[in-house]
A and B are shown apart, each in its own frame.
Chain A
Amino acid sequence: DQQVKQNSPSLSVQEGRISILNCDYTNSMFDYFLWYKKYPAEGPTFLISISSIKDKNEDGRFTVFLNKSAKHLSLHIVPSQPGDSAVYFCAATQGTYKYIFGTGTRLKVLA
């Protein structure tokens, strides 16, 4: 049973436009969510996080939105840059360091 789902395996966006990556979860007890970026043959790097008590968190070009009623979070990247091309994972946890990861979405930003 996949508790964290990223239903879009890939996404292509033109440089300068907005990239929207989506993530759905099933466990309403999750209280913290993170987004990680991963390049090939490298470990994931932390991007941005959000607590369940918030509905938005912004850091530069990256904004994460959380809709608890829909059990949905999204990552917005504006403006998208070619260097943003990577695989993006969302992850969720319930009060611990044990995370459940989604399957990832491969973002390709076209120059």
Chain B
Amino acid sequence: GAVVSQHPSWVICKSGTSVKIECRSLDFQATTMFWYRQFPKQSLMLMATSNEGSKATYEQGVEKDKFLINHASLTLSTLTVTSAHPEDSSFYICSARDRDTVYGYTFGSGTRLTVV
């Protein structure tokens, strides 16, 4: 089945710095990828839809300038958390369309971001 690789799996950074998270589709081309965030004991919240070769579509309430998304190739989307603050600490997960399942996603393994 489709495999999505996400890196790093965890990262600790200082407040004010930027962190880049990568999401790769390993055995298929993903024209569209999705970025989610999950706070403890809460559901996965869609942040943005990443489209290859065009601008990402952000959900309401998500700061575009803070969460920069780049989808420069058919197999790679990146999420950069700029000027990170402790409230940005969360679990970030990417996903891509699973071609084997109607309307299904294949998720990456997630990135635990801690901003200190």
Contact = CB atoms under 8 A, between A and B. Distances in A.
B103 A9 contact: no
Contacts, number: 59
A41 B49 CA distance: 22
A45 B107 contact: yes
Q: Report the contact-size class of chain B (Cβ under 8 Å from the partner).
A: 20 to 34
Given A44-B93, A97-B34, A97-B97, A49 B103 contact: yes
Given A9-B41, A101-B44, A46 B101 contact: yes
Interface of B: 4, 6, 9-10, 32, 34, 41-46, 49, 93, 95, 97-98, 101-110, 112
Interface of A: 2, 4, 9, 32, 34, 36, 41-46, 49, 51, 89, 93, 97-99, 101-104
